[in-house]
Structure 1
């Protein structure tokens, strides 16, 4: 059924209780909801403008040196690079706001032009050197100057223009991280070339050629060598190339046409990573950029890419902005290093500074589109998941997306993050729009692991119309352990089979997703552990369950496999530091006794939203036949084949980050 969060009644059992609460409460400083134009979110262009203006006003309260630096730290004690970061990322937002409504923003334009003059005249911005964060920030200043060229660039005096171009040109020929950063220097070179400050077109095309090495199809790029699939597809690979192409004009028309086709393919799958409540999947790094991940929807409209109806693109993007606004993220006009209002150490990266969250500015790209564009005037259309349940395989990243009951689940078989780092935001079997993995060496939710193990990069991965499979080596206290995992997503649960080799004498743990909650919700949290190998943890609106289904000796043969006598213990694991979604977190897990040989094991997990959190897991496995490349069995009486991944081996995905010189 189509679910309208603005009109739903309080006793509608199809809606999660938390969504009901937020759906019926307007953010005080926002304009009134407009249910006629936006029946799903209530948000219109006026709401986006209000959010942008609130952030801009908040930023000016933290400005230094006439706006040329912005320090969001509590005691104005940020390092110089963080102050530059604060300026640059807010400058992008200001440029988008000014370019989208130039006649009404003349005073703002003068303020930011003066900030540019002061930055150049006072040499307030750090030089662009090898592997320098200032290059990241300079690239977004260049984009701001490009989109608001008539208002911010052309009125500048010649000395300021030359100073800006000289600053940008410092990046030419420097070394950078061999990932999306190759596009940053190219963006700077494209701007200086576009305004007649030299000709760096060969450098630019070299960087764009390097990006092609990472394209994996269906609009998806890996962020450098390895299998780093995350939101950098949204605010890097489907962002910078379009600005570069616009700056250089007809010379890049062929590339730009290719990028448009890829963006269309990308959005076809990407749209399913957002829940009806607006909550996106929490997976990968830089989650603190929040609604910056909506940028490709606006980019598609700006570039004339018609893969999705404009009315649906606005519905998804506005839903995400509202999801965060309803949580008070914008209430004080400054963004925290977190997901909700407060900072969240578990999702903050080492490179994050006080101004980092303002990459959210990229999500305001839609303000460049005219107010009478269809993306703003068409009545909001429902998301696919608001009309039916969704089960979609995304082949490039090897993800299987499931959306039902307002919850989106990402079953991960092929995204790894950094090739040599066992990162909790990548190396898990399951992510969702209502959970985030817990951080900690002894904490491993939503996965299979061996005691004391470090998980290595993916060896092989496959995604299918019903689930997927992944093989991975583990370093278990210096011992090499091979694991092959296959998952079938059924109606009520996800059933996993795994073959574990080389873990003799070690215990294996399998786990469900972590559920988070705040102190105010503590009385709603309960857990249950059964002697039959089942454990559950739940809040009032979310329930995570795991159930052990059995173990068998792994030797292949024509006869049914012999059951392995493997006592197990069901547990609830507490995460004392909580997560970005709550002060407290816990997840269910099942731990085996030490293995006596190679085994095939089976378990099922369920993550369900709703007032009751979903039904119990009732899956049963029998008649197990083990072959070298698959397992045949009966699941609830139905014959099934669980096949280990047999795709190409990702042998090149084990290198640490490399470097690139444009």
Structure 2
């Protein structure tokens, strides 16, 4: 596997350099897609093969429509010819008809966006019959029911595409979708992703990115101020080295994490000083540029920090990672825009509390971000208890996704307390009875069994240290396992001493110091469970609790230079 740095060379942080980067990322995916559905690899997915192929064709357009002037004519010609076949119901490459909640609704939004942005590239070259097919297909997409969450923006973007090509539509349909989006507003620029949704990266790379693109295309500023307000708090999600703290579903979309910053530039909305927006955007893409995320033929792989299908949800397939192309929407801002000319602003330590998200972000002295988390799991998402319900997530050390199997090595409890009633099978937090956040930290009450109640209190500090205290009332005998953070296994140095368990690798130090007599050790989680590294080591503390009331307390550290707590 290779990195964008190795495949394409150093990232040039000018607008011209970003145009080249958008083409470098997008073209390998499109070169495969224009060969038709039979050329697509078969990968895990809950969609049909043709839907997966159409996803591969559409998603690179999020970036290439913004970088249109840098895209060669031969690629536009191939894409346009392929779109003509994909919307033709008599063609073997037909993307398919719509039904409520169909995956095609997602990709129809990308097509609507691209048609509205570069009609001269994708619409004008089409033959009259192909234009008729495109209008009919998009009309289906515009009127089809969608999943009741951020998907309500998809018909809105399709509507912009229909407007751009001169097709008729009923504006009340888009208005109804926008009205429904307004009902998800929790205040403070935060939206829940549907009636049972969580607050995660779907705020910046879906709700607010779409709101700003909608404003750019149609002038409707209804959701511009919420996007700007969210952006002002979104600062705390990013570390000084560029990393976004990983959390929640769809992490397989990688650098889409930073799409909001470019969308602000595309809409010319200065929510934060342009030097800040530019800095977050540039550092994020630079962070990803040297990660091994490409296949040997330079296509984006499925995974996160490295290729691994086990790290993503059931709906991510071979074409899905090109949602990352949204990070390039800032290319719609001209070369003389301050987004491209401002010097990036340095970051300072900060603590930011998000009551609506039950979250606290702490950017410490080393510039890394710790997320203290009180939200509950997403039971319908593969790996939802790990992506949503761990107590802490780190931009420096990521997190693990547990797998079925015996032993704490399968549970991989970094940033989490795990329990077992047989010493073999482990479970962590899923739902919560109550969650509260404040300047002093996080408090979560949860019940892993009906006869076990836990109150977990977590404090984190700019030094990189964290204190976790768990008050446990149990009617059964329990084994406990609690982790600091993983470090890469290659070259790791470990200590399991009288007072602490410590692991150090590649300049990252992770340690735990128990204050309650628990045993200290270093375990080797099942390979392929970690978001950043294929194999890891993890300092943990373990113990056994008899029925009764117990208090567990320990100090945990992850950082580059160990500082006093």
Cα deviation for residue 88 of structure 1 reads: 0.8
Aligned equivalent of 1:609: 560
Aligned equivalent of 1:14: none
Structure 2 unaligned regions, length at least 5: 405-410, 421-425
Distance 2:54 2:202 in 1: 22
Q: Report Cα offsets for 1:196-247 as digits up to 9, x if no partner.
A: 5443322222222222232222222222233522211122111223444555
1:262 and 1:26, CA in 2 relative to 1: closer, same or farther beyond 3 A? same
Alpha carbons 1:130, 1:174 under 8 Å: kept: yes
1:538 and 1:459, CA in 2 relative to 1: closer, same or farther beyond 3 A? same
Aligned equivalent of 2:9: 30
Match of 1:582 among 521, 533, 542: 533
1:30 and 1:530, CA in 2 relative to 1: closer, same or farther beyond 3 A? closer
Cα deviation for residue 585 of structure 1 reads: 1.3
Aligned equivalent of 1:321: 285
Distance 1:488 1:57 in 2: 46
Aligned equivalent of 1:506: 478
RMSD of aligned residue pairs (Cα, Å): 2.9
1:149 and 1:416, CA in 2 relative to 1: closer, same or farther beyond 3 A? farther
1:586 and 1:146, CA in 2 relative to 1: closer, same or farther beyond 3 A? same
- Tell me if 1:446 matches 2:408: no
Aligned equivalent of 1:396: 356
Alpha carbons 2:385, 2:430 under 8 Å: kept: no
Aligned equivalent of 1:568: 518
- Tell me if 1:455 matches 2:406: no
Distance 1:190 1:362 in 2: 17
Distance 1:424 1:516 in 2: 19
Aligned equivalent of 1:428: 390
Cα deviation for residue 334 of structure 1 reads: 1.0
Distance 1:402 1:573 in 2: 27
Kindly name which structure, 1 or 2, has the bigger radius of gyration based on alpha carbons.
1
1:27 and 1:318, CA in 2 relative to 1: closer, same or farther beyond 3 A? farther
Aligned equivalent of 2:345: 382
1:338 and 1:406, CA in 2 relative to 1: closer, same or farther beyond 3 A? farther
Alpha carbons 1:189, 1:204 under 8 Å: kept: yes
Cα deviation for residue 28 of structure 1 reads: 7.1
1:529 and 1:334, CA in 2 relative to 1: closer, same or farther beyond 3 A? same
Distance 1:284 1:585 in 2: 21
Q: Name the TM-score, length of structure 1 as normaliser.
A: 0.75
Structure 1 unaligned regions, length at least 5: 1-21, 34-41, 551-566, 618-662
Q: Name the TM-score, length of structure 2 as normaliser.
A: 0.87
Aligned equivalent of 1:485: 456
**Range 232-241 or range 505-514, more displaced:** 505-514
Cα deviation for residue 179 of structure 1 reads: 2.0
Aligned equivalent of 2:41: 73
1:150 and 1:540, CA in 2 relative to 1: closer, same or farther beyond 3 A? closer
Aligned length: 540
Distance 2:477 2:513 in 1: 23
Aligned equivalent of 1:591: 542
Distance 1:61 1:70 in 2: 13
1:93 and 1:305, CA in 2 relative to 1: closer, same or farther beyond 3 A? closer
Q: Report Cα offsets for 1:609-632 as digits up to 9, x if no partner.
A: 24xxx1576xxxxxxxxxxxxxxx
Match of 2:301 among 336, 344, 352: 336
**Range 579-588 or range 151-160, more displaced:** 151-160
Q: Report Cα offsets for 1:458-477 as digits up to 9, x if no partner.
A: 332222223222222223xx
Cα deviation for residue 332 of structure 1 reads: 4.3
Distance 2:54 2:545 in 1: 54
Alpha carbons 2:216, 2:266 under 8 Å: kept: no
